[in-house]
C-alpha cells in the first residue's frame, strides 16, 4: 500500500525545455513534502521542500507545486540541463507525528537530452 | 565539515556470512536511518533510531540487525538470514521532527558472491 506514488518511472526531456515530475499521495495527514535528487552510486541530496500551508515554493530553476485537494505535487525544472539527469524521489512527512520516518516514492529517472 | 560517512563503499560477502556496514555522522543529528535501494523499488526503510539505545523496525527489517550505542553511529548488520542481500544500502540522519529533511551518506554496495 504505497502512500507516496511516482507513477512515471522515467522521463526524457530536451535540454532547455521544462521537466515536470509528478507525485501523488494518499495520506491526507501528510503536511510536509520534499524532493531529493540521486545520481548513480551516490546518496540522495535534498533539492526543495514545501509545507502544506503553501501551494508553491521556488528555488532557482526548481519549483514545487502542491495541490492539496488533489493530493498531488509536482516538481518543475526550467530550463532543464544535462546535469539534471538523475533519479528524483518525492517524500512526505507529518510534522507533528512523533518522528515517524519520511515516506518515499519509488522515484522517477529523468534524462535530459542535449 | 559536518557530514555522514558510510564505509566501505563496496563490500563482498560469501553466502552464509554476516557483514556489518558502518555509518557515522558528526552533524549532531538525533535520528538515523537505514534504507535499501533495489532497481525499480525506490528507497525501502530497514531500521531507524530516534535516540541512543532505541531503534524501530522499518518495512523490511527481516534478516537485518542494528545497534545505537552512540549518537554518532548506527551500524547495520546483514545476517545470513537475509535471503537477497545484494543491494545498495543508504544511511541517513536528521534532526527530530517531520519538517527536517535527511542527510544521506554516499552508500555501500553489497554483493553476495
Contact between A106 and B42 using a beta-carbon 8 Å cutoff: yes
Percentage with pLDDT > 90 across chain B: 81
Q: What is the pLDDT of residues B38-48, one digit of tens each?
A: 987 889 999 99
Question: Grid coordinates 525545455 are at which residue?
Answer: A17
* Rounded Cα–Cα distance for residues B22 and B79 (Å): 14
| A34, β-bridge pairs | A49, A91
Looking at residue A98, its pLDDT comes to 67
* Element containing residue B104 per DSSP (H, E): strand B103-104
How many angstroms separate the CA of residue A48 from the nearest CA in chain B? 10
Asked if B50 and A99 come within 8 Å (Cβ–Cβ), the reply is yes
The residues in B 74-93 lying below 8 A from A, measured between CB atoms, are 88, 90, 92
Q: How confident is the model at residue B1 (pLDDT cuts 50, 70, 90)?
A: low
Which residue from B minimizes the CA distance to A6?
Answer: B42
Cross-strand partners of A89? A36
Q: Helix, strand, coil % (nearest 5) of chain A? A: 5, 55, 45
Residue A64 burial (10 A CB sphere; 0-12, 13-18, 19+): buried
**Cβ contacts of A76 within 8 Å, gap of 6 or more:** A18, A19, A20, A62, A63, A64, A65
Check A97 against B98: CB less than 8 A apart: yes
Q: Kindly report which listed range (A18-22, A75-79, B10-14, B75-79) carries the lowest average pLDDT score.
A: B10-14
Confidence of residue B50 (pLDDT cuts 50, 70, 90): very high
Nearest neighbour of A105 by CB, restricted to B40, B42, B105:
B42
Of A46, A96, A104, the CB nearest to B42: A104
* Residue A75: predicted pLDDT: 98
Q: Kindly give the parts of chain A with pLDDT less than 70.
A: 98
Residue B98: the pLDDT is: 64
All 3 cell numbers of residue A26? 494518499
Q: How far apart are CA A105 and CA A62, in angstroms?
A: 19
List, in order, residues 6 or more apart from A53 with CB less than 8 Å away.
none
Confidence of residue B24 (pLDDT cuts 50, 70, 90): very high
For the residues B81-93, what does the mean pLDDT come to? 93
Start-to-end CA span in chain B (Å): 36
Instruction: Spell out the residues 6+ positions from residue B43 whose beta carbon is closer than 8 angstroms to its own.
Output: A44, A89, A104, A107, B35, B36, B37, B90
**Average pLDDT rounded to a whole number, residues B48-74:** 96
Angle at B32 between CA B29 and CA B36, to 5 degrees: 145
pLDDT of A100: 79
Amino acid at each position: 500500500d504505497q502512500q507516496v506514488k511516482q507513477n512515471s518511472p522515467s522521463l526524457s526531456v530536451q535540454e532547455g525545455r521544462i521537466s515536470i515530475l509528478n507525485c501523488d499521495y494518499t495520506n491526507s495527514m501528510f503536511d510536509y513534502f520534499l524532493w531529493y535528487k540521486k545520481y548513480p552510486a551516490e546518496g540522495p541530496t535534498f533539492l526543495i521542500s514545501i509545507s502544506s500551508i503553501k501551494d508553491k515554493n521556488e528555488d532557482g530553476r526548481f519549483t514545487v507545486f502542491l495541490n492539496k485537494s488533489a493530493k498531488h505535487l509536482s516538481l518543475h525544472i526550467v530550463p532543464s540541463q544535462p546535469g539534471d539527469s538523475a533519479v528524483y524521489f518525492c517524500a512526505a512527512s507529518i510534522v507533528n507525528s512523533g518522528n515517524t520516518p519520511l515516506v518515499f516514492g519509488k522515484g522517477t529517472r529523468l534524462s535530459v537530452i542535449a | 565539515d559536518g557530514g555522514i560517512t558510510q564505509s566501505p563503499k563496496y563490500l563482498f560477502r560469501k553466502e552464509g556470512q554476516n557483514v556489518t556496514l558502518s555509518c557515522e555522522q558528526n552533524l549532531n543529528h538525533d535520528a538515523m536511518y537505514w534504507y535499501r535501494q533495489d532497481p525499480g523499488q525506490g528507497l525501502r526503510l530497514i531500521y531507524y533510531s530516534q535516540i541512543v539505545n532505541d531503534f524501530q523496525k522499518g518495512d523490511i527489517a527481516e534478516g537485518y540487525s542494528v545497534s545505537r550505542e552512540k549518537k554518532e553511529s548506527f551500524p547495520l548488520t546483514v545476517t545470513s538470514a537475509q535471503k537477497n542481500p545484494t543491494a545498495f544500502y543508504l544511511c541517513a540522519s536528521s534532526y527530530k521532527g517531520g519538517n527536517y529533511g535527511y542527510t544521506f551518506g554516499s552508500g555501500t554496495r553489497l554483493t553476495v558472491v
